């Protein structure tokens, strides 16, 4: 398949449409063909042997690489300004392949103060069964990060914004701390997408996505991506991806490639809608607090402007009436759907303490800033007046 790598001078939306693919060499097809095949025929035994030995390029078996999946990987690598990317069966397959690929027993991982519930679950499993320890840290400044490091720290692992509190971590700052000490910096960029934030450009080593979210964008695929230096990606491809096997199916890669074509227009609209919804909620008498990086009163508003190209489509909030009021309100919504996940064109609302972060013990949740009354809203790309109307009528029951 002919590979098209538009130059770095092209904009993000052009890259999202054109990077990684020009046309199908056999037919000229504009859309990427779905290579729905598990295996690839060798023209001779020698050819097969050479491919296995790495002496000749070419496909072998779809767990080791597939042309449709490869186009997706090239596209995300171009968008993230990474040398290479790998696609996985889910965001958690990407997180686990990266973490297990980088750590050894006895290593230590320093994490942002909040993490997606299953990432937290994986870290606990690594601690309990594999002797890899971790701790959570606010990372509010360089000194706090430096003081929280251990001599055996292998990875600084952050979400920014953190799911679901929307707290930010200064990516330039952790990249500097990591670089000076030979510690990998890994950033879960799910909440931003490469359209709004590119951690590798800011000096970090690796990026992870739940591609289920903004990259897919339509709520019809579960997928993950990791992106970073070629050497590290090659290592992960040949170890924890190949041997644990959490690879992406060609049809799902096709859906993500299709989703990426509209990433720019979707993200612009997500940001615009979320800003208006955040401002509406802020002004509502029943709302106690709104957490959205685009609000001038957000404690890290200046950092948001420095490292993000937009404030994103997600926010969280608390009602004055607490959990009970929140439940009453959520149950009255009709347009906003009660569902976990985020980044879909549809607006989704969920209750972290009982849903996405229920695996995190209550005390840890509180330390992360996830109160029992916190509600997370992933603002979709519907007409914003309709979303505000739905929230307004539901809030009368709060």
Q: Give the residue numbers annotated as catalytic, written as ranges.
A: 63, 116, 188, 213
Pick 1 or 370: Cβ nearer ligand 3LM: 370
* Backbone CA torsion sign across 351, 354, 359, 362: positive
Q: In this chain, which of 17, 340, 345, 388 binds ligand 3LM, going by CB under 6 A?
A: 340
Pick 13 or 212: Cβ nearer ligand 3LM: 212
Segment interacting with ligand 3LM (CB under 6 A) among 69-77, 91-99, 287-295, 298-306: 91-99
Tokens of 310: 């937009």
Cis peptide before 161 (omega within 30 of 0): yes
* Backbone CA torsion sign across 358, 311, 378, 32: negative
245 Cβ contact partners less than 8 Å away, ≥ 6 residues apart: 63
Instruction: Provide the β-strand partners of residue 318.
Output: 289
DSSP one-letter code for 80:
H
Tokens of 155: 């990875």
77: Cα separation from own chain's centroid: 14
Q: Is position 314 an interface residue for ligand 3LM (rule: CB under 6 A)? A: no
Q: Is position 188 an interface residue for ligand 3LM (rule: CB under 6 A)? A: yes
Pick 13 or 197: Cβ nearer ligand 3LM: 197
Q: Is position 344 an interface residue for ligand 3LM (rule: CB under 6 A)? A: no
- Show the CA angle centred on residue 272, arms to residues 13 and 172, nearest 5°: 65
Query: CB of residue 49 vs ligand 3LM: minimum separation in angstroms?
Result: 36
User: Do residues 45 and 24 touch, judged by C-beta distance below 8 A?
Assistant: no
Segment interacting with ligand 3LM (CB under 6 A) among 50-58, 87-95, 170-178, 294-302: 87-95
Pick 132 or 222: Cβ nearer ligand 3LM: 222
Q: Is position 160 an interface residue for ligand 3LM (rule: CB under 6 A)? A: no
Segment interacting with ligand 3LM (CB under 6 A) among 2-10, 89-97, 271-279, 383-391: 89-97
Q: Is position 210 an interface residue for ligand 3LM (rule: CB under 6 A)? A: yes
User: Do residues 214 and 184 touch, judged by C-beta distance below 8 A?
Assistant: no
Q: Concatenated DSSP letters for 307-362?
A: H-SS--SEEEEEETTHHHHHHHHHHH-SSSEE-S----SS-EEE-TTTTTTTTS-H
Pick 224 or 373: Cβ nearer ligand 3LM: 224
Residues in touch with ligand 3LM (CB under 6 A) = 90-92, 95, 116, 118-119, 159, 163, 188, 190, 210, 212, 222, 224, 340-342, 356
């Amino acid at each position: 398949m002919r590979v098209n790598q538009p130059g770095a001078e092209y904009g993000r939306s052009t890259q999202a449409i054109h990077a990684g693919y020009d046309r199908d060499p056999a037919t000229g097809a504009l859309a990427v063909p779905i290579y729905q095949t598990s295996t690839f025929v060798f023209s001779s035994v020698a050819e097969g042997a050479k491919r296995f030995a790495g002496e000749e390029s070419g496909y072998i078996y779809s767990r080791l690489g597939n042309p449709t999946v490869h186009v997706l990987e090239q596209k995300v690598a171009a968008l993230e300004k990474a040398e290479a990317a790998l696609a996985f069966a889910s965001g958690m397959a990407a997180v686990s392949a990266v973490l297990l690929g980088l750590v050894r027993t006895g290593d230590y991982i320093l994490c942002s103060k909040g993490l997606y519930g299953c990432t937290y679950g994986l870290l606990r499993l690594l601690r309990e069964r594999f002797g890899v320890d971790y701790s959570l840290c606010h990372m509010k400044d360089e000194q706090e990060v430096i003081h929280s490091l251990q001599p055996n720290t292998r990875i600084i692992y952050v979400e920014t914004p953190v799911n679901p509190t929307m707290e930010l971590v200064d990516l330039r700052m952790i990249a500097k701390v990591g670089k000076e000490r030979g510690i990998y910096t890994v950033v879960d960029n799910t909440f931003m997408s490469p359209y709004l934030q590119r951690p590798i450009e800011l000096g970090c080593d690796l990026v992870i996505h739940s591609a289920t979210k903004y990259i897919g964008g339509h709520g019809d695929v579960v997928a993950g991506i990791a992106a970073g230096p070629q050497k590290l990606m090659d290592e992960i491809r040949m170890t924890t991806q190949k041997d644990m096997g959490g690879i992406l199916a060609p049809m799902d890669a096709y859906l993500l490639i299709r989703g990426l074509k509209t990433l720019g227009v979707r993200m612009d609209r997500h940001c615009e809608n979320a800003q208006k919804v955040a401002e509406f909620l802020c002004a509502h008498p029943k709302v106690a607090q709104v957490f959205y990086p685009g609000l001038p009163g957000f404690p890290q508003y200046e950092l948001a402007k420095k490292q993000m190209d937009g404030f994103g489509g997600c926010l969280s909030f608390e009602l004055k009436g607490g959990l009970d009021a929140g439940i009453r309100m959520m149950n009255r919504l009709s347009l906003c759907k009660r569902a976990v996940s985020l980044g879909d064109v549809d607006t989704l609302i969920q209750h972290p303490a009982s849903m996405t972060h229920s695996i995190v013990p209550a005390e840890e949740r509180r330390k992360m800033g996830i109160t029992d009354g916190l509600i997370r809203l992933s603002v979709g790309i519907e007409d914003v007046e309709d979303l505000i109307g739905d929230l307004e009528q539901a809030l009368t029951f709060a």
